[in-house]
Amino acid sequence: MIEYLIGVDGGGTGTRVRLARNDGALLALGSGGPSGLMHGVEQAWSAVLETLNAAFASAGLVRPALERMAIGLGLAGVNNKLWAADFAARNPGFGDAVLETDAFTTLVGAHQGRPGVIIAIGTGSVGEVLTADGRRREVGGWGFPASDEAGGAWIGMRAITHAQQVLDGRAPGSDFARALIHFCERGGNTRFDSHRDSMFAWLAGASQTSYAQLAPIVVSHAGREPAARQIMLAAGQEVARIAAALDPSGQLPVALCGGLAAHLQEYLPAQLLALVVKPHADAAAGALRLIDERLKGKKTC
């Protein structure tokens, strides 16, 4: 018998879990390391189980056998069908499971399962729509560095280009550029006498996460520095393009989710801003809703 329901939001930088009784009553939350499938299936399951254990511990409960739990998972990387199939095949023993993209569980959580649009903007970006007739479609999410427009890494790459232009004399210096250059000097493994050498050293080891770490510098300077503001305005236009591709009619509510969502709102075109609504709940809640609906559907069959 299923006694507990689990909702999981698993990404490239962390995992969040919602633990509920089988009647839907929320018992605890848990957070842990990354469970996005790009890190490998074994790592993903390990992070999910560790985070689940933390949720039970915070609720003051002894974790039961996995077969007494049903789990809904929204994970980054599920759109890679090979990864998803491998992950599902290695279910360590949960009594029932639903596996979805983190974009779809974000959509379900944000709009309570009703039609709408979500655009998730964190380190990367992705958009998804659920239409009134039940169709769903994803836009973006192709991954770094080719896609993820308006995400933290995308913003950071444009910021570092600006810093390079300042160092070359192709753009005027500013507090914004100096902050970026200083960040790269602190982030390099070796100290150099020239800003240029320090920049090359930082670039040699830069990852998607490294570029995303520059986004807060852009956000903090965008109110007073034209170069930073232009990057944020360009990001706002990219969000609008994703929204338009998902819902050309511009009729559905749009929920912006992820760590950069709030910072981008003031840079959105007015037409899109008029459609923006506050998300009702997060992706872990969406995953919890999906597994609950699956079990209820089985009972009516």
pLDDT tens for 183-200 read 998 865 555 557 888 899
- Is 248 in the same domain as 295? no
Position 107 scores a pLDDT of 95
- Is 23 in the same domain as 93? yes
- Is 49 in the same domain as 78? yes
State the average pLDDT over residues 54-78.
96
User: DSSP assignment, residue 35?
Assistant: -
- Is 169 in the same domain as 96? no
Contact between 104 and 111 (Cβ < 8 Å): no
Beta-carbon contacts of residue 118 (< 8 Å; ≥ 6 apart): 103, 106, 107, 110, 111, 127, 128, 254, 255, 256, 257, 279
Share of the chain above pLDDT 70, in %: 97
Q: Is 1 helix (H, G, I), strand (E, B) or coil?
A: coil
Each residue of 222-262: pLDDT tens digit? 999 999 999 999 999 999 999 999 999 999 999 999 889 99
Q: Could you tell me if residue 34 is inside a domain?
A: yes
When divided into structural domains, the chain yields a total of 2
Share of the chain above pLDDT 90, in %: 82
Q: Could you tell me if residue 123 is inside a domain?
A: no
- Is 164 in the same domain as 270? yes
Place of tokens 């390990």: 46
Position 11 scores a pLDDT of 84
**Mean of per-residue pLDDT scores for the chain:** 93
Q: Could you tell me if residue 122 is inside a domain?
A: no
Q: Could you tell me if residue 144 is inside a domain?
A: no
Q: Exposed e or buried b for every residue in 242-256, given b needs 16+ CB within 10 A?
A: bbbebbeeeebbbbb
Distance CA 267, CA 236 (A): 5
- Is 8 in the same domain as 67? yes
Distance CA 99, CA 162 (A): 41
- Is 229 in the same domain as 294? no
- Is 77 in the same domain as 161? no
Which amino acid makes up residue 57? A
Q: Is 102 helix (H, G, I), strand (E, B) or coil?
A: helix
- Is 244 in the same domain as 284? no
Distance CA 286, CA 84 (A): 18
Position 228 scores a pLDDT of 98
Q: What is the domain extent for residue 192?
A: 152-277
Each residue of 80-121: pLDDT tens digit? 999 999 999 999 999 999 999 999 999 999 999 999 999 999
- Is 159 in the same domain as 264? yes
- Is 188 in the same domain as 213? yes
Each residue of 202-218: pLDDT tens digit? 999 998 889 999 999 99
pLDDT bucket at 221, cuts 50 / 70 / 90? very high
Q: Give the tokens for residue 141.
A: 């999410």
Position 223 scores a pLDDT of 96
Distance CA 163, CA 171 (A): 8
Q: Could you tell me if residue 52 is inside a domain?
A: yes
Place of tokens 């982030």: 187
Residue 36: CA count within 13 A, CB half-sphere: 15
Q: Could you tell me if residue 41 is inside a domain?
A: yes
CA neighbor of 176 nearest in space, from 230, 236, 117: 230
pLDDT bucket at 44, cuts 50 / 70 / 90? very high
Q: Could you tell me if residue 231 is inside a domain?
A: yes
pLDDT above 60 (res 71): yes
**263: CATH:** 3.30.420.40
Q: Could you tell me if residue 159 is inside a domain?
A: yes
- Is 98 in the same domain as 202? no
Contact between 251 and 137 (Cβ < 8 Å): no
Position 187 scores a pLDDT of 65
Position 63 scores a pLDDT of 95
